[in-house]
Amino acid sequence: MLTLPITLNDILDVIRCQHTVVGPKDRSVDGPSPIDTAGERSLTFCNRQGERGSKMLEATAAGIVITGREHEGLCRDLGGRTFVLVDDPRLAFARVLDRYFSVSWPAGISDDARVSEDAIIGKEVHIGPFCAVGRDVIIGDGSRLEGSVTVHDGVTIGRNVIIRAGAVIGTDGFGFNRNEAGALEKFPQVGGVVIEDDVEIGSNVCVARGTMADTRIGRGTKIDNLVQVAHNVQIGEDGLITSMVWLGGSVRIGDRCWLSPMVSVLNGVCIGDDVTVAMGSSVIRDVPSGQFVAGNPARPTIRKE
């Protein structure tokens, strides 16, 4: 349970990076605040560089500010407040929030959830109200299903996975054939879904099961709200898939890719490692590793070093 106030030493214990402290070292705070509304009992951060960042630091009344090393001279001139200088202020601040101020999710299964007797549930798992977990599902240690998540039969979820409210994992893929009379007949979807460790899946995301092999989401990848992941998609590790992205069937995405909002990727397209796709782009051809693509259809614009 959080005990206030949080001291400067408490903050330094969790940022896990090299730092320089400028100003009083006996400072403590009661909570985080945006930089423009912070008071003397607040912790905040400044990620801005140059003149804009300087003006924000001059104007804030926050007691402790985590900011970049480029502002060291200004911070020493300001006096009175405490500044923690690091290479990545946003990352350091996020670690403090996560340690001291994040909402806790107690382990256990809600009385309003329905979990199959065949499911294998790991240790310290949270399954929220109105979740439905099907047969032969595996959920690893420390994972969290928020309210109204549906996990269909045969899905495997790794350790420390977060699946937010309303997501559907393992629904049938969209596969049909026209028969001799022109009517549509279902192509059965008999594969599964594998979600590896440390993945986060946002609200109202749909992940379809594979047709025969598994749809797979790689370790550490984060998927925003309202994303469609079709059957047989393979997503690599540590990727960012942002809101309203549509991934067609059998798409392959490499490691550390960033798909911006409202991107669509045509069925069967392969995207290499370390690719960035700009907002609203339509990817209809394979993209080699390391490229930045944009447009409709998406074209390379800047090759990343």
Q: Which residues participate in catalysis according to the annotation? A: 231
Q: What is the DSSP string of 163-186?
A: E-TT-EEEEPP--EEE-TTS-EEE
- The conformational region for residue 243 under phi > 0 = left, psi -120 to 50 = alpha, else beta, is beta
Strand-pair partners of 265: 247, 283
Quickly count: other Cβ atoms within 10 Å of residue 23's Cβ: 18
CB 283 within 8 A of CB 268: no
Tell me: cis bond preceding 5? Omega within 30 of 0 counts.
yes
Q: Which residue has the tokens 């090299």?
A: 18
DSSP-assigned letters across all residues of 57-125: HHH---SEEEEEGGGHHHHHHH-SSEEEEES-HHHHHHHHHHHHTSPP--SEE-TT-EE-TT-EE-TT-
Measured from the Cβ of residue 122, the count of other Cβ atoms closer than 10 Å reads: 16
CB atoms within 10 A of CB 24: 13
